[in-house]
Chains A and B, each alone.
Chain A
Amino acid sequence: MNTSSSPPVVIARELTRTFGPFVAVDRVSFEVRPGEIFGFLGSNGAGKTTTIRMLCGLLAPSSGAASVLGFDVATQAIKIKRRIGYMSQRFSLYNDLTVEENLRFWGGAYGLVGAEMAERSRWAIATAGLEERRHTLVRSLPGGFRQRLALVAALLHEPPIVFLDEPTGGVDPEARRRFWDLIDELVSGGKTVFVTTHYMDEAERCHRVALMHAGRLLALDSVPDLKRVFPKGTIVEVSCSHPAQAMASLEKMPGVVDVALFGERLHVVLSDPAGGAALAHGLDAVGCENATVREISPSLEDVFIRVIATAEGKAA
């Protein structure tokens, strides 16, 4: 992260992609610095995959421009393809080939042969922790191993930047944690990682996060800075006996900006940091007993909900 003085690896300027009348990505601008984990956070259909595909030279932008490692995505796609790693949302390995055969193929697709190929294959197997399973068909690998194999397969040709499109879909939490440990390892080795996700906990592990919603980039900052949209003390957690009922009451109370349900608990956004104490009394009055109000630091999800609400409020 101390390399921020060097030029950005990815630059997007007013990047736009339309499909007929549908605007999938709407004038998105950002820069990715070398050596960072850059997260693209958004729900399905927010335009994350379309953006990543444009950056990897798989889809031409409708307007605007972007460059990756100094090459223009619209005109120098093949140069970009040679220098980047890409792990698509859909599973990118051949189920009917073994671990080693898959690595040899994907290495070969980037022109690796002989000693170099063997050396990179060894590195990949060791990094993904697949020494025992090098001759196993990918079909019979557990999900977590497949995901790590797909990642190292995208890194065989030693690209300085790797694009991961929702890499941990359908994988259990433990495997996801191991996958992210691997990402941390790569970044400490000097690689840049561009990752899309709709998991908040994954976004928390990114150095900087871009919030995408309906094709627009709504916010872009480090996680702590994103959380500063809430002044200290303006977000509290409320737990009480009838959360759904409480939610309706809270929304009508003075000083309450927003209420969101998180499981059994409610996150309440206040306009004034001192307004928390009044909530418990108010809830008691409407029959929600034993309400406790606790000041919390906002989660990324709080931020996400707030940012979207603000953006849509402006649009309305």
Chain B
Amino acid sequence: MVRRTLAIAIKELLQLRRDPRTTLALFGMPIVMLLLYGYALSFDVQHIRFAVVDHDGTRAGREVADSFVRSGYFDLVFHGNDVRVLDPLFDAGRIQAALVIPATYGADLAARRATTLQFVLDGSDSQTATTILGYARQVVASVSPKVRTGTRDAAVAPVPLVWYNPDLSSARFLVPGLLAFILMVTSVIATALAVVREKERGTMESLRATPLVAFELLIGKTLPYLLLASGAAAGALVIARLLFDVHVRGSLFWLAAVTLLFLAVSLGWGILVSTVAETQQVAFQLGLLSSMLPTFILSGFIFPISSMPPALQVITHVVPARYFLVALREIILKGAGPEVWWNQAVGLLIYGVAVLGLATIRTVRSL
């Protein structure tokens, strides 16, 4: 049994070696995707184009405006005292945010009265707007204790402390998701193509006439891809460390274990696709659609599951990357052990048994 399985695996590796273009496309693509997404898919907002409308004109007003600029996030593009200019500026997209200082600001502060600042935001991109608002709150919070010094109700300044991802870098948040995404897409497509290719070329008929059973065929076929995908995953981690400064805090052993579990699910998915598709083209499209879209949208890779509508949240349970992603972030970012993410691993395990079982049954039937 081992001999026959090995014969398939060796043959598959030889074929991969003969076809460096496909191999490179499948396993070099992860690296390119990591670079692309790592650099392009950044949620960090910087150089916010910003206007100040100062009706007050006192030193206190100028100080507030200054602290926005000094925070490093805001670039001042306009400073004036007429609110009516804001509309055309926003419309033209020349500014993303504006600070309006009321005429009574300086006087209120001097009289130790509570006062307000108006902050105007372009809300058409809600994600960016939320981020900008967060920065603005920080800036105002850093200003108000100073100006309140000496008042009766001297406030305790809120000092935000962000754990695990102290500078809230997008790369750190994205890398685990990218890893899941890359592994899923490449392994599903690679396996689906490898099996369907035999159908298309007619060699499947000859394989079926040999004493090879479905189990041996599937293991032999997936083993080389498992190996290569693991290599690609390791490569992606190294690149993430070198370029995006993402360090694995947790144990590499558990990282490898969870990754292998996830790979088993993906490869099983690939085989399942291959039992449906008759041509490589169909296999490619089906593999891509069934792995890429759900992983991208429904796994929590980019859009947090907790902010999805309840019905969609239920659907995310059938996306294997969802479980992998949670465990991966725990391990890479928090350095958490299995006691924290064991339920995710169980989810993957159940998924893996179901997918591989179904794939085997379907292959046996078609064999």
Which chain A residues lie closer than 8 Å to B18 at the CB level? 96-97, 137
A110 contacts B210, C-beta separation under 8 Å = yes
B205 contacts A108, C-beta separation under 8 Å = no
CA distance A27 to B29 in the complex (A): 55
Which chain A residues lie closer than 8 Å to B3 at the CB level? 108, 111-113
CA distance A106 to B10 in the complex (A): 12
Asked whether any CB of chain B lies closer than 8 Å to the CB of A92, the reply is yes
A97 contacts B15, C-beta separation under 8 Å = yes
Q: Mark B192-205, 1 if CB is under 8 A from A, else 0.
A: 00000000011101
In the complex, residue of chain B having the shortest beta-carbon distance to the beta carbon of A88: B205
Q: Mark A152-196, 1 if CB is under 8 A from B, else 0.
A: 000000000000000000000000000000000000000000000
A108 contacts B211, C-beta separation under 8 Å = no
A92-B210 contact given A105-B10, A111-B3, CB 8 Å threshold: no
Asked whether any CB of chain A lies closer than 8 Å to the CB of B137, the reply is no
Asked whether any CB of chain A lies closer than 8 Å to the CB of B127, the reply is no
CA distance A192 to B67 in the complex (A): 94
CA distance A137 to B15 in the complex (A): 11
In the complex, residue of chain A having the shortest beta-carbon distance to the beta carbon of B206: A92
Which chain A residues lie closer than 8 Å to B15 at the CB level? 94, 96-97
In the complex, residue of chain A having the shortest beta-carbon distance to the beta carbon of B12: A105
Asked whether any CB of chain B lies closer than 8 Å to the CB of A109, the reply is yes
Asked whether any CB of chain B lies closer than 8 Å to the CB of A78, the reply is yes
B6 contacts A92, C-beta separation under 8 Å = no
| Size class of the A contact interface (CB-based, 8 Å) | 20 to 34
B9 smallest CB distance to A (angstroms) = 10
Asked whether any CB of chain B lies closer than 8 Å to the CB of A81, the reply is yes
CA distance A90 to B206 in the complex (A): 9
In the complex, residue of chain B having the shortest beta-carbon distance to the beta carbon of A165: B205
A25 smallest CB distance to B (angstroms) = 18
Asked whether any CB of chain A lies closer than 8 Å to the CB of B111, the reply is no
Which chain B residues lie closer than 8 Å to A81 at the CB level? 209-211
B210 contacts A109, C-beta separation under 8 Å = yes
Give which listed residue, B7, B205, B206, B208, contacts A104 with CB less than 8 A: B7
Which chain B residues lie closer than 8 Å to A145 at the CB level? none
Give which listed residue, B6, B10, B14, B208, contacts A58 with CB less than 8 A: B208
B11 contacts A88, C-beta separation under 8 Å = no
B24 smallest CB distance to A (angstroms) = 16
B134 smallest CB distance to A (angstroms) = 55
Which chain A residues lie closer than 8 Å to B201 at the CB level? 90-91, 94-95
B14 contacts A101, C-beta separation under 8 Å = yes
B205 contacts A58, C-beta separation under 8 Å = yes
In the complex, residue of chain B having the shortest beta-carbon distance to the beta carbon of A139: B18
Give which listed residue, A86, A95, A104, A107, contacts B209 with CB less than 8 A: A86
Which residues in window 1-57 of B have CB below 8 A to A? 3-4, 6-8, 10-11, 14-15, 18-19
B203 contacts A109, C-beta separation under 8 Å = no
B203 contacts A92, C-beta separation under 8 Å = yes
Asked whether any CB of chain A lies closer than 8 Å to the CB of B69, the reply is no
A110-B11 contact given A92-B203, A92-B206, CB 8 Å threshold: no
Which chain A residues lie closer than 8 Å to B207 at the CB level? 109
Which residues in window 210-229 of B have CB below 8 A to A? 210-213
Which chain B residues lie closer than 8 Å to A86 at the CB level? 206, 209
Asked whether any CB of chain B lies closer than 8 Å to the CB of A82, the reply is yes
CA distance A107 to B212 in the complex (A): 11
In the complex, residue of chain B having the shortest beta-carbon distance to the beta carbon of A84: B209
B210 contacts A90, C-beta separation under 8 Å = no
In the complex, residue of chain A having the shortest beta-carbon distance to the beta carbon of B9: A108
Asked whether any CB of chain B lies closer than 8 Å to the CB of A41, the reply is no
Instruction: Name the residue in B18, B211, B212 with the highest tally of chain A Cβ atoms < 10 Å from its Cβ.
Output: B211
B205 contacts A106, C-beta separation under 8 Å = no
A41 smallest CB distance to B (angstroms) = 22
CA distance A137 to B208 in the complex (A): 23
A111 contacts B211, C-beta separation under 8 Å = yes
Which residues in window 36-93 of B have CB below 8 A to A? none
Which residues in window 72-88 of A have CB below 8 A to B? 78, 81-82, 84, 86-88
Query: What are some 17 contacts across the A-B interface (CB < 8 A)?
Result: A56-B209, A58-B208, A78-B211, A81-B209, A84-B209, A86-B209, A88-B206, A91-B203, A92-B205, A92-B206, A96-B18, A104-B7, A105-B7, A108-B10, A109-B8, A111-B3, A111-B4
Q: Which A residues fall within an 8 A CB radius of B?
A: 56-58, 78, 81-82, 84, 86-88, 90-97, 101, 104-113, 137
A-B contacts besides A82-B211, A110-B210, A111-B211, 11 pairs, CB < 8 Å: A81-B210, A88-B205, A88-B206, A90-B201, A95-B201, A104-B7, A105-B7, A108-B4, A110-B4, A111-B3, A112-B3
Top 7 closest A-B pairs, CB basis?
Answer: A108-B7, A90-B202, A92-B206, A86-B209, A109-B210, A105-B11, A96-B18
